[in-house]
Structure 1
């Protein structure tokens, strides 16, 4: 159903994960000799019937023992995606930005505390999970909020186990206190702007109006969290 090409390598097809009813697939990108990957292209194969209300969420990991990390998705409207692989000590500073605004895969080796000195990689494992599109978009928005790359706001980073990963609001507030304050302020202001339109003569707002705001807010956040940038706090 899917295929991927890493720079300098042959096309490799996906394999269906057993007992997944065709909803999960993997692609193992290997090299017969060390490669300095620069980009990975993933796409839905031609003549494949892909459900319009679903998406194939794309995950990466560096070895079978590690956990998958979410990086993007493909769908009937976006049947392909390009991922930029940034390997240390490789003369790749002139690489163009990844297509479709998707993330970089930053290869780091936590076992030694240093980046991979050889600038090469023998294997990348890609996982694709077919799931409802709204669910896939919500997952991506959550991951983008939790991203820990400090160099590129649009980058997502795959790291070795043991490195900082944000998994809770408390961790977000501890690592990025200022950003957390700004986020909270924008959410409160957005709620205030909406609810002031329902004030009664005594300055009260029906609880149902708050419930309606929260439902609409979550739906919009799943579609495009960038709208929060437009909320002014004055």
Structure 2
């Protein structure tokens, strides 16, 4: 009934889930080169007549042990959609909340270091066909939650570090020492690049300049931390 294509990969047809009270269809996208996932197209097959009073809510997850997360819908007026997929450290700037399907931020806990991609081997799409008067209110609630969240401009399919008991920077450094070193180096380099433009005749910088850098850095980090990937030594 449905099909999906991840860029650089063959088309995958949906499979019906027998005796299901929830998701009626699933699609498993797999690849030996997950970094090829830059866009995913999901659509109703051409020979299928979709009932006008129903919608197909769409869910995603990264492995069978995770819970599905809502990401949008298809219906008779919207039989297809394209997803932008953000792999770890891709530096992509998320899009604003729209109607229906949006972006998938696929940062995962396995990312070994900045500038590399995680070993994502599959992406699982779940599709539930349900009456419009049931599915649409759920979608409106979903969009409201996204708009109210700190990262309202992006959708996240993630296995958070908190699931592994990572709650402090020390724990982060213990689990990801190389990543933490790279992060620290990027922050120091960013500060150096900024402050070096304010050296006086003796090679000193006012502490007020540092305070200004820190305020700007925190604001930029809160909006889009991917700028750190572009920090280089001058």
TM-score (norm 1): 0.59
Aligned residues: 162
Q: Secondary structure at the match of 1:28?
A: strand
Task: Give yes or no for contact 2:73–2:101 (8 Å, CA) kept in 1.
Answer: no
Structure 1 match to 2:140: 141
Structure 2 match to 1:39: 39
Distance 1:52 1:64, change over 3 A: same
Distance 1:89 1:43, change over 3 A: same
Task: Give yes or no for contact 1:24–1:128 (8 Å, CA) kept in 2.
Answer: yes
Structure 1 match to 2:56: 56
Task: Give yes or no for contact 1:82–1:99 (8 Å, CA) kept in 2.
Answer: no
Structure 1 match to 2:75: 75
Q: CA deviation at 1:87?
A: 1.2
What 5-or-longer segments of structure 1 have no aligned partner? Answer: 165-234
Structure 1 match to 2:128: 129
Q: Secondary structure at the match of 1:35?
A: helix
Q: Secondary structure at the match of 1:108?
A: coil
Structure 1 match to 2:25: 25
Structure 1 match to 2:223: none
For the residues of structure 2 that align with 1:26 and 1:136, how far apart are their CA atoms?
A: 18
For the residues of structure 1 that align with 2:22 and 2:57, how far apart are their CA atoms?
A: 14
Structure 2 match to 1:2: 2
Q: After superposition, what is the alpha-carbon deviation per residue over 1:162-206, rounded to whole angstroms, capped at 9, x for unaligned?
A: 769xxxxxxxxxxxxxxxxxxxxxxxxxxxxxxxxxxxxxxxxxx
* RMSD between superposed Cα atoms in Å: 3.3
For the residues of structure 2 that align with 1:42 and 1:99, how far apart are their CA atoms?
A: 17
Distance 1:109 1:132, change over 3 A: same
What 5-or-longer segments of structure 2 have no aligned partner? Answer: 164-234
Q: CA deviation at 1:115?
A: 8.1
Kindly indicate whether residue 155 of structure 2 is the aligned counterpart of residue 156 of structure 1: yes
Larger fraction in strand: 1
